Amino acid sequence: MHKEIKQGKKTVAIIISLLTITVALYIYQFSKMTLGRNVTIKFILEALLIMTTLIVLFIETRKCKIAYKYCIISDKLIINKINSKNEENVESLKIKDIIYIGEKSNVPKEYSRCKCSRHYIRKFDKAKKLLCIYKKEGKIYKFVFEPSDTLVSRIKSSSQH
């Protein structure tokens, strides 16, 4: 049995939030200089900027609360999505059904055309992202995730048995 949890990185959320606030402030200052005395357009623009900024802040805050738990239990790889309130199973597959696990650049050609169906990661993190290709009920599926080297080696050693 092996278990690990990957949290969303708060630094990415902080950078995106600060960038959004900065852009909103620049747009606001630019509009003050160019729109002059047109009060209604200024008011509408201010409201839009505030709403956009609040929406981005809300989305980034929610993303920070999401984590993924990767488990190997006997011959299964289980991926659960954890938010602040509950834990939900999003993927459960037998390790023997895994065709490929590794970097996107090294995917075998016969599987390179398959679309990636799921992402169990934060999009802007620089952590090592790996692709998992597996067969289930005669169909090929893919997902991207961020396992540790230990988890990958355990999956590879289990699939060889």
Q: Is residue 22 part of a domain?
A: yes
Q: Is residue 90 part of a domain?
A: no
Q: Is residue 76 part of a domain?
A: no
Q: Is residue 54 part of a domain?
A: yes
Q: pLDDT tens, position by position, for the chain (161 residues)?
A: 888 888 877 888 888 899 999 999 999 888 888 877 788 888 898 999 999 999 999 998 888 888 889 999 988 999 999 987 789 998 899 989 988 888 888 888 887 777 767 777 766 666 678 888 888 888 888 888 888 888 888 888 876 65
Look up the domain containing 27 and give its range. Answer: 2-64
pLDDT tens for residues 54-76? 999 999 888 888 888 999 998 89
Q: Is residue 143 part of a domain?
A: no
Domain count, the chain: 1
Q: Is residue 40 part of a domain?
A: yes
Write out the two tokens for 34.
């160019």
- The strand pair at 76-82 and 98-102 is best described as unpaired
User: Are 133 and 82 spatial neighbours (Cβ–Cβ below 8 Å)?
Assistant: no
Residue 72: how many other CB atoms lie within 10 Å: 19
- The strand pair at 118-120 and 139-145 is best described as parallel
Q: pTM for the full model?
A: 0.74
